[in-house]
Structure 1
Amino acid sequence: MSSIKGTGGKKAGAVSGAKPRVDKKTGVSSVPRVAEDRLNVSASAQQIDDLFQQLSDLDDVNAARVKSVRESIKKGNFPIDYQRLADKILELSDELNAEDDD
């Protein structure tokens, strides 16, 4: 039986509020117990959990790339594709206008 304690300091599995039973032959009293709860996790589930943990540890931003771009902008040698920039601004504007219409 598990040695994990539940509320009230009783061992896990003990039926709360149950009266002890006395074995007539041996005179030994015992508290009725319920089956222990168990959780079996497959190896695949454990691998998936490990992968999620690794993903949560990753940075959302590539700090080295951000630093490189900032330095290029400060030095004035960061290439800007003005047509692409204009297209993206228009896309964003269209998205914002579509949200306002909803």
Structure 2
Amino acid sequence: MTRQFDDEPYAVRVLQGVQVAADALYQAASTDFDRAQIEKLVGIYGQLGEVVAAQAREMRQFVEAERVALERAESAERLLSVADAENARLNARVEELESVAREAARS
């Protein structure tokens, strides 16, 4: 099962769990080198989290843009249908008037 990108409480819990684990590892580290490596890994994880959050924002923006585009396309289709109906009505009126004009010319 996959999680939604906007599941912020879950993301916060994951980040808190990583921080707790990193703190425990840092406390258990026996050398400065080990502690420095743990700090680097936590920094990398933090940057990765920022990248994922940015991608999630971009995905939401893309989805919103798609929604707006679809709404506009549907609106354009409705307007085209109205225009087609009006065009047909006007063409029928023109044909009617042309017929009347032909009858008048014959008389």
TM-score, normalising length: structure 2: 0.26
Structure 1 length normalisation: TM-score?
0.27
The structure with the greater share of residues assigned to helix is 2
Q: Indicate the structure whose relative CO is greater, using CA pairs within 8 Å and at least 6 residues apart.
A: 2
